[in-house]
């Protein structure tokens, strides 16, 4: 099993950052790589067990299931059900911690998954930098405006 971890400081209060992240269907609003998203079965986007089905700007389709969501802890976790990345047992957690000095937010995004051993390094880079860090950077830009 491989583990990927990315962290960042966002110059916005945790409540403002969480307002963007807690919407499990909101990826197109704050990531640079998601074209469209929908929640299957007409469930609420904050209902544990709901499945988001989204299309990437490159055409790939991913289905993820919401596993946990805590407004108190500013944290959620999800699993990948289907993805073109050829990963298995993928579980990710996104967590925010208020930084009281300057009213910023410490954001952490981690994932664990199985993949072919020869793809570990490539996928760790792609997910850590190409997904997690790219999304944090996009979120920072959104919240600056």
CA distance 31 to 37: 11
C-beta atoms surrounding 76 within 10 Å: 22
Contact at 8 Å (CB) between 8 and 17?
no
Contact at 8 Å (CB) between 50 and 43?
yes
Q: Which domains does the chain have, with CATH numbers?
A: 2-144 (3.30.530.20)
**pTM of the prediction?**
0.94
Question: pLDDT (tens digit, 9 = 90+) per residue, 37-93?
Answer: 999 998 999 999 999 999 999 999 999 999 999 999 999 999 999 999 889 999 999
Question: pLDDT (tens digit, 9 = 90+) per residue, 80-136?
Answer: 999 998 899 999 999 999 998 888 999 999 999 999 999 999 999 999 999 999 999
Contact at 8 Å (CB) between 132 and 40?
no
């Amino acid at each position: 099993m491989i583990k990927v971890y990315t962290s960042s400081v966002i110059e916005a209060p945790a409540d403002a950052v969480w307002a963007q992240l807690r919407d499990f269907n909101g990826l197109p609003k704050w990531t640079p790589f998601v074209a469209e998203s929908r929640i299957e079965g007409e469930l609420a986007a904050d209902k544990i067990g709901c499945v988001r089905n989204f299309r990437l700007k490159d055409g790939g389709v991913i289905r993820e299931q919401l596993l946990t969501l805590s407004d108190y802890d500013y944290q959620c976790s999800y699993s990948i059900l289907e993805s073109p990345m050829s990963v298995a047992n993928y579980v990710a957690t996104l967590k925010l911690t208020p930084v009281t000095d300057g009213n910023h937010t410490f954001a952490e995004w981690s994932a664990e998954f199985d993949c072919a051993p020869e793809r570990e390094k490539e996928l760790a880079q792609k997910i850590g930098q190409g997904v997690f860090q790219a999304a944090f950077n996009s979120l920072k830009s959104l919240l600056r405006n």
